[in-house]
Amino acid sequence: MKANSLIRKTKRKKLKAGKETDCAGKSISNLPEEVLEHIVSFLPIHEAIRTSILSKKWQNLWKSTPNLSFDGRDSPKRKLFMDFVERVLVLRGPSNIETFRLSCEAKDDQSRIGTWISAAVNRNVKDLYLVLSDIESSFVFPRCLFNCKTLTEFEIDMLFILKLPSSISLPCLKILSLRQVTFIDDQSTQQLFSLPNLVELEIYECNWKNLVWVTICAPKLQQLAIYESLESTPANSGGCHVRIFRTHLAHFSCCGTLSNEFCLDESSVVETFIFLNSDGDRRPRETACRSYKLLEGISSVKTLYLTTDVVDVLDHASDLLAFPLEFRNLTSLIFESDELNLHSAGFWHIIYNSPNLRSLYFSDVTFCTLQVSSFRCEVPFL
């Protein structure tokens, strides 16, 4: 009797037993629109539009596809591509956009691109990816983008000056990835880096030259990766002082020449990569201080990956090593790249002050100026 309710619920789509294959063919056409829309949503937008001529039932399904991805980087007919994007956005109607991905040359279509971004924001976009080249210096993101209530993932790869409004409110933003942008001022940049729900922050090859003091204070941040651009900061500038404050990271990567200063303050981290390249460093003393400061801030680390330059450079400020750098939780230390100088005071300083170190790996490291006496150093726990 209870079974009847199940039957009743589904009576209208009851299949006739017997000719199975025939049934199956019919049954897909009998599926509710949501299921067909779901299938269409897995297709690239070109293909989704093509389904509109399958049958009357399929005619408008593509219009609710929530994932829009447009890649016009290799398109020989740029104008055709831009018109295509425009038409999709006009014709698709009012349904929500979940993912909007645009890769193209901006050239003289900047205002058009701005309108498309606004359209995505108005349709409650969650994931926004922009890879734009040939951008004029006047390009500004529409203001609504930085007040988008739904934006969860935002990735841009754009060689341009990122002008930000004075007030930013992105309550859902979890993943932020910035590539090649030039930051314009401390205050707005700091707001962007300290959003309340940010979990992942990646800053690749960005230009910090306009910044002096920036605090990254995002309470939910778990992954932070900063890759300095090799030519971003002129050698005579002191760079930007970046303070990572009250943040508890699972993973922290810092790669580059330390032309900016990074330090963790009242923060903790589990796994850290520090890839320093100090070749041709004209201010070794300053780099040494920055390297020391960086190591000092990550004292809670469990697994630490270093390039040998990180410890070698410390020899340029051996006075600092009088102050203990202690790594109480460090269990794995991994050295990568180049040559390791076993006479380096910095290297032994870390080894001696890591009482729980269990494993020490050298990957692709050449030991230079190795003398037998070096081996006599006692490392009781190894």
Partner 1 sequence: MSSSAENPTLTAEITKPSTEIATETAQSAKKITLKTSDDQIFEVEESVAMEFATVKSFFEDAPSSTDTVPLPNVPAKPFSQVIEFCKEQIKFKANPDETEKKRSNSEFVKEKTNEDLVEMIPVANYLEIKDLLDVLNQAVADRIQNRSVEYVRSFFGIDNDFTSEEEALLREEHAWAFEDVDED
Q: In this chain, which stretch among 39-47, 110-118, 296-304, 358-366 interacts with partner 1, using CB under 8 A?
A: 39-47
CA 267 from chain center: how many Å? 20
Say whether residue 49 binds partner 1 (CB under 8 A).
Answer: yes
Measured distance CA(287)–CA(257) in Å, rounded: 8
**Residue 80, interface with partner 1 (CB under 8 A)?**
yes
Query: Does position 10 bind partner 1 by CB under 8 A?
Result: yes
Minimum separation from the CB atom of position 8 to partner 1 (A):
10
Nearer to partner 1, 168 or 199 (CB): 199
Among positions 33, 38, 96, 140, the unique one binding partner 1 when judged by CB under 8 A: 38
Q: Does position 53 bind partner 1 by CB under 8 A?
A: yes
Residue from 101, 153, 149, 87 nearest 123 by CA: 149
Choose between 12 and 376: whose C-beta lies nearer to partner 1.
12
Residue 61 or 264 having the CB closest to partner 1: 61
The three-point CA angle 79-81-87 to 5° equals 100
Minimum CB distance to partner 1 smaller for 43 or for 172: 43
Q: Does 25 bind partner 1 (CB under 8 A)?
A: yes
Counting residues that bind partner 1 (by CB under 8 A) gives: 50
In degrees, rounded to 5, the angle at the alpha carbon of residue 122 between the alpha carbons of residues 71 and 117 is 35
- CA–CA separation, 298 and 270 (whole Å): 9
Q: How many residues does the chain have?
A: 382
Q: Per the structure block, which two tokens stand in for 209?
A: 């030259």
The piece of 35-43, 146-154, 157-165, 257-265 that touches partner 1 (CB under 8 A) is: 35-43
Contacts (Cβ under 8 Å, ≥6 apart) of 357: 327, 330, 331, 332, 333, 351, 381, 382
SS3 378: coil
Q: Which residues bind partner 1 (CB under 8 A)?
A: 2-3, 5-7, 10-11, 13-15, 17-18, 20-21, 23-32, 35, 38-40, 42-44, 46-47, 49-59, 75, 77, 80, 83-84, 87
